């Protein structure tokens, strides 16, 4: 099954890739690697998950998992705009999950699972990536989660 069909089966419609808010670009390819700019949990042009995650914040771990998944969806939109089709992705190499963490919140790995499980579901073994899960003090536009991605394309 193609990745496009798999996304359809999961009920996911990729948005138009967002235009960068500055003198940078959504993706850069070098050799077989594609680097993806930091993705925020934006839907229909608006950030849908803002503020800090955890007991001392207003975002729950479950909501932050949804935010991480939404970041991954936006990353795939950027990659589709670059590659034409997501079937040209050979492997998700690395994701970096930055969680806007309230004091004492230490479940960044659970939040990151929101992105990891989604990528595994969509790409199968090609979606098995390396990962960093980190607790940030602040994030742009007060987003609850930011996601970096590096993928390998088919040669």
- Closest approach, Cβ 62 to its own copies, in A, equals 15
In terms of Cβ atoms closer than 10 Å to its own Cβ (0-12, 13-18, 19+), residue 26 is buried
Smallest distance, its own copies to C-beta of residue 79, A: 12
* For its own copies, the closer CB: 1 or 23: 23
Using the rule CB under 8 A, which residue among 31, 44, 45, 46 binds its own copies?
A: 31
Torsion, CA 10, CA 16, CA 21, CA 23, rounded to 10: 110
Contact positions with its own copies (CB under 8 A) in 64-123? 91-96, 98-99, 101, 103-109, 112-113, 116-117, 119-120
Binding-site residue total for its own copies (CB under 8 A)? 59
CA separation (Å) from 18 to 21, 127, 149? Answer: 9, 23, 15
Shortest Å, Cβ 66 to its own copies: 16
How far is the C-alpha of 63 from the C-alpha of 69, rounded, in Å? 10
Beta bridge partners, 90, equal none
Pair of tokens at residue 89: 């992705």
Answer for which of 11, 13, 16, 137 binds its own copies (CB under 8 A) is: 137
56: left (phi over 0), alpha (psi -120 to 50) or beta: alpha
Residues in contact with its own copies by the rule CB under 8 A: 20-28, 30-33, 35-38, 91-96, 98-99, 101, 103-109, 112-113, 116-117, 119-120, 127-142, 146, 148, 150, 152
């Amino acid at each position: 099954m193609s990745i496009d069909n798999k996304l359809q089966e999961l009920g996911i419609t990729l948005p138009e890739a967002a235009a960068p808010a500055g003198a940078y670009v959504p993706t850069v390819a070098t050799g077989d690697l594609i680097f993806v700019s930091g993705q925020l949990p934006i839907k229909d042009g608006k950030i849908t998950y803002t503020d800090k995650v955890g007991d001392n914040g207003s975002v729950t771990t479950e909501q932050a998992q949804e935010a991480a998944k939404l970041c991954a969806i936006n990353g795939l939109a950027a990659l589709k705009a670059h590659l034409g089709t997501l079937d040209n992705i050979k492997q998700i190499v690395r994701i970096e999950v930055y969680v806007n963490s309230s004091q004492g919140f230490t479940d960044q790995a659970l939040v990151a699972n929101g992105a990891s499980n989604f990528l595994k579901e969509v790409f199968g073994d090609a979606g098995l990536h390396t990962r960093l899960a980190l607790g940030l003090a602040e994030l742009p536009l007060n987003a609850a989660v930011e996601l970096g991605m590096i993928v390998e394309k088919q040669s």
